[in-house]
Amino acid sequence: MSDGPLAGLRVIDAATLAAGPLIATWLGEHGAEVIKVEQPDGGDPLRQWGAQKDGVGLMWKSLSRNKKSITLNLREEDGRGLLRSLCTEADVVILNLRPSTQRKWGLDRANLAARNAGLVMVHVTGYGAGGPKSDRPGFGTLGEAMSGFAHLTGSPDGPPTLPSFMLADGVAGLTATYAVMMALYHRDVHGADGQLIDINLIEPLARLMEQSVLTYDQLGSIPNRMGNRWDISAPRNVYLTKDGHWLAMSGSAPSIARRALEAVGRPDLTADPRFAEAQQRLRNAPQIDAIMADWIREHTLDDAMTVFEDANVAAAPVYNARQLLEDTQLQARNVYPTFPDPELGSMRVQAPVPRFSATPGHIDHLGPTLGEHNEEIYGEVLGLDADRRRELRDRGVI
C-alpha cells in the first residue's frame, strides 16, 4: 500500500503521450494509486518516444514511475465498458480523446458521473472543448507555436524556435495537476460532486507569455524575438567565455545589475543615469551587453564564475546533461538518484519535486511492462474471475 498525502486516491490514467500521463505521474509520486490504461497492441506511444535502450523507451521508464499498467482495447465496447467500471472505483480519470470520440464512446463526464458523482475528470485536448478547432488533433508543438512562445524564441533575424523538449505538455500537465487537487478539495472539504477539468496545450503556456498580449493590448506594439536578451531586465543574456563555455546572467533586480557592473570593473556606470535606473538600463541594454560580453570573453568560465560568485552576482554556467549530473549542489540534494529496474538494470531519474518536509514524494518503481498489472486490477479491483479474464484476453479486449 502506498503512503504519502494522496494515499487512498485512485487515478485512472487513460491518456497517451505526455500531458495527461504527466498529471498521473505527479499524483503517483505522492501516494496515489495510478492505473495506466494502454491499448493491447503496443501500448502508449510514449513507450516508443525518444531515446531507446535495448528497445526500452527511456522517457517511458521515468514518466511511468509508480504506475500499474493494464491493457484495454477502447475500440471495443467491452473495453469501454471495463473502463467505465474502473471509473466507478476511481477518484480521478485522465483522458485525451477528441471530444467527439469521447461522446461517441460514452466516456464523457456526464456518462461517467452518472455512475460515480464524485469522479474528477481531466480532459486534455489540443485546443480545448468548444470552438471550431476543438476536435482537431493537437500536440505540444502546436501549443508552443500558437501560445506565442515560438514567436518570442530565437534570434531576431532567425526563424521562430520550438523547444526540443515537451514544454507545452509539461506546463499543461502541471496546471492540470494543481487543478485536480483543487477539484478534490472542493469535493472532499465542501461536500460537492466531482467535476470536469478542461485543459489544453495552448492556454497554460500562453498564460506565461501574457506580457506580450498586455503590451499589444495597452501599447499597440507586438514584442519580437530578442535572442537571449529580454526587454524587462539588463544585463540578461548568455555570454561566451575565453575557454569556449557559455555563461548565463540575469540582472532582474537593480542591486544585482549594479553588482554585475562593479564586478566587471565598471563601478562608474552605477552612477551613470543611463545605467543606474531599471528603465534606463533597458533603453541602453545593448551597451550593457557589450560590456559584459567583452569582459567575459577575456576570462575562463571558472575565473568568471569565481568573480561573480564573490560579488554575489546572479550568474550560472549553461549545463549539458553531463554537467547537470556532476553539479555539486544537485548532487548534495540527490536530485538524480539511481533506481533498480528489471529491464535496464538501473537508471538515474530525477527525484520528485517539490520536496515536502513531512510527506516527501517517492519512487517505488520505474515504468512497468505492458499489461504487467492486468491480473491484479481485473481480478482484485473489478473482481473478474480467471475464466472471464482469459476470455477477454483471447478476444483482444485486454
Please give the DSSP secondary-structure letter assigned to residue 381.
I
Query: In sequence order, what are the beta bridge partners of 239?
Result: 247
Picking from 133, 146, 136, the residue whose alpha carbon sits closest to that of residue 172 is 146
User: What is the rounded (10 degree) CA torsion for 364, 369, 370, 372?
Assistant: -60
169 is catalytic: yes
Picking from 71, 21, 135, 126, the residue whose alpha carbon sits closest to that of residue 371 is 71
Q: How far apart are CA 75 and CA 77, in angstroms?
A: 7
Active-site residue, from 13, 44, 169, 198: 169
Picking from 177, 202, 185, the residue whose alpha carbon sits closest to that of residue 352 is 177
Q: How many residues does the chain have?
A: 398
- The answer to whether 398 and 389 are in contact (CB under 8 A) is yes
Please give the DSSP secondary-structure letter assigned to residue 233.
B
Q: For residue 265, how far is the Cα from the chain centroid?
A: 41
Q: How far apart are CA 191 and CA 392, in angstroms?
A: 38
Q: How far apart are CA 99 and CA 81, in angstroms?
A: 18
Q: How far apart are CA 291 and CA 237, in angstroms?
A: 12
> Which residues belong to the active site?
169
